[in-house]
A and B are shown apart, each in its own frame.
Chain A
């Protein structure tokens, strides 16, 4: 029997598949191109006007800060070669690195630093503006290689705010005369960093190449850096497994065990990066509403929550149970030596009884609603079971992430919410904002619980005004003790994000935004020492 129609179709199909298969390039990847999967499209590439977690993973490879951060999140020289703190913490004098040029060949000078702070960061970078607006008086530039920051009052944590994530330095000659939010330069970024910009195809990929004149000799260790935009996390993992991608900045929890067993792939813990470092997932009770206004109820709930279970089963081990308001990933400020709330349903029930929340005939004491984003469903279910055990009914209200943020922080029409508060390199950056009463306001990631305590306000001010680390630690320890007594929030987990890379590459700097600077291929002739 002849099948003309069908045959033609099949021949066409087979020819297409076969032709493509034969013409395909050899599978061996070129070892000097690192392909990175990122989940969202960055849009514009100006790091000084946004804290966006979509923009910074890209731009943090193109730009530099005045300082870098070492693995303990301590400042190390970057665009500033050295610095001195003067006038009791009221002035910081930076000696800039000589001989640094922008990717277009123009020399980098103190004028770029002044321009970046005055025209970009202080106007548009939400975190840096909020912190330095009333604090930074002037940036003086006595010569091309000196920048002096004059402050209105002593401020200890300034250096930690000057890395590439918080304060990328942008070129004055490129941006001057442009509207910084509507600028051509943001589409073709020119930096001083290890990689220079080649091309950006929106919703597809960003291609960077090695900066041959980078000021750190011998770096970067790869020739090309390509970011592929893969919004579906499972697809990113598949691309990693198939070898189309070398590094993925997030791994969906359920995929972790499988990837850990996959030969050729390393699953690594990361405390930080462009999206924020030393993050904590924290439950936010609305303290202006009953029953959270009662301290006994808050302590009861703190005892009812089984953090170990949540870390294991909800977060798939991506972090450690939190013990208080500062993440243990800022070791110099953190203390576990505060009031603890071990999982103890009996104690929780006792405290609820004392608070007058007696169980009714069905065993129910009170009902509260947990407002959460779509990716926190598992957490909601776990909390519902744990609170049910002490007689609290937890209703789950699942919203789109942005809608949940709006309800909790802006509209404040909620009982219990959730946020990931990134502490940053210093508690001043990401802890203060959660607890001080001046930051109760209708905007995201503020003091969402509406917690007010004049002592805490004063202590945070004191910690910021001190320059000596030991004195600052003492103040933060006191803050942690008071907050642990008062439980204005329920601290769940000190997050450590899991990232995964193919073992053909090594040297990822997982604690900072500039993760790719030291990445190098693992070749047969230069075996990895890791």
Chain B
């Protein structure tokens, strides 16, 4: 069997699996959100109405039908490409979700970049310097960074950087004082992404530093590296050329797994910083019991997790030929 056909088969199998996962998540989300206590009608329409009013509103939104009936209608609509109409935004769900993707991707991408720079950079420094103090410091900081909830670290960073020092904005994606365009807008955007991206990057950076440091240490003990040392190769060059490359494989796998989860996992950070991403949107939609929006968002999130997993597997296999796509 040629390599190409085996890769195609692998892709087919993964695609089928992906469809099953997304279908499962859709069903589960639909059932869970409909069973969750709290009636969207009261949140949509407000309080102080009488029974006939609430009944008429329920009928208007199709919420007077049984869950099974609503589910069948929903699945039919989704299969024909209609993800429904958002209760709270009063527009097609798909547009609302897509509108928030760029913000999430910017925050997620920047934070992944920070994770890799911080985590891998620290691991390389540890390997080069081999200082016990540096090692201990990196280990200590990474433990805190990994275990502290972003909700808490983010607030601390806001208090320090925005309130006390006043050097970074406290939140949002752009300044609310004026409408900027062109270069000024881009600069303002980067300025606003720094703090939330840094906050969001810490847990993954902590994992990366642990994993890559361990694999670098392991590689340093291997015969080809010892041979290189014996040939008189300088330590920094050695690490960057021979050791770091090998250590990057598990990092790619980690980053890939995380990339998929960022769509949903950034919700708390987005809410904390008022960042207009998909997670923040889902938070409001959930609070308003906007069933169509929440369900559609979860379909997107699960699809992106599956997608990034496939991409990750393909990428690690390309980096390390020993890993086969089966």
Check B176 against A443 for contact (C-beta < 8 Å): no
Top 8 A-B pairs, shortest CB-CB distance: A402-B38, A51-B46, A126-B49, A43-B88, A204-B276, A403-B37, A127-B48, A44-B90
Most buried by A among B88, B155, B162, B194: B88
For the complex, give the distance between the alpha carbons of A281 and B172 in Å: 33
Check A126 against B46 for contact (C-beta < 8 Å): yes
CB distance from A251 to the nearest CB of B (A): 15
Interface check A50, CB cutoff 8 A? yes
Which A residues are in CB contact (< 8 Å) with B289?
Answer: 402
Interface size on B, residues (CB 8 A): 74
Check B158 against A205 for contact (C-beta < 8 Å): no
- A3-B236, A40-B288 given; name 8 further pairs at CB < 8 Å: A16-B194, A20-B187, A20-B190, A205-B276, A228-B274, A231-B274, A231-B284, A238-B158
A44 — nearest CB in chain B belongs to which residue? B90
* Given A235-B158, A235-B274, CB of A44 within 8 Å of CB of B89: yes
CB distance from B163 to the nearest CB of A (A): 5
Interface check B133, CB cutoff 8 A? no
CB proximity to B under 8 Å, residues A157-184: 181-183
Which B residues are in CB contact (< 8 Å) with A403?
Answer: 36-38
Check A238 against B283 for contact (C-beta < 8 Å): no
Segment with Cβ contacts to A, from B8-16, B62-70, B120-128, B310-318: B120-128
Most buried by B among A25, A35, A441, A443: A443
For the complex, give the distance between the alpha carbons of A2 and B125 in Å: 11
Which A residues are in CB contact (< 8 Å) with B44?
Answer: 50, 52
Check B163 against A242 for contact (C-beta < 8 Å): yes
Check B90 against A5 for contact (C-beta < 8 Å): no
Check A130 against B49 for contact (C-beta < 8 Å): yes
Check B128 against A238 for contact (C-beta < 8 Å): no
CB distance from A56 to the nearest CB of B (A): 9
Check B163 against A129 for contact (C-beta < 8 Å): no
Interface size on A, residues (CB 8 A): 83
Interface check B307, CB cutoff 8 A? no
Check A244 against B162 for contact (C-beta < 8 Å): yes
Number of A-B contacts (CB under 8 A): 226
* Given A130-B50, A204-B173, A239-B171, CB of A6 within 8 Å of CB of B124: yes
For B49, give its contact among A35, A41, A129 (CB under 8 Å): A129
For the complex, give the distance between the alpha carbons of A19 and B54 in Å: 55
For the complex, give the distance between the alpha carbons of A243 and B177 in Å: 10
8 contacts between A and B (CB under 8 A): A1-B236, A202-B89, A202-B100, A204-B173, A228-B176, A231-B283, A235-B158, A402-B289
Check B88 against A5 for contact (C-beta < 8 Å): no
Interface check B301, CB cutoff 8 A? no
For the complex, give the distance between the alpha carbons of A435 and B102 in Å: 50
For B48, give its contact among A19, A20, A130, A230 (CB under 8 Å): A130
Q: Mark A177-193, 1 if CB is under 8 A from B, else 0.
A: 00001110011000000
A52 — nearest CB in chain B belongs to which residue? B46
Check A13 against B167 for contact (C-beta < 8 Å): no
For A6, give its contact among B53, B125, B187 (CB under 8 Å): B125
CB distance from A162 to the nearest CB of B (A): 16
Which B residues are in CB contact (< 8 Å) with A119?
Answer: none
Interface check A282, CB cutoff 8 A? no
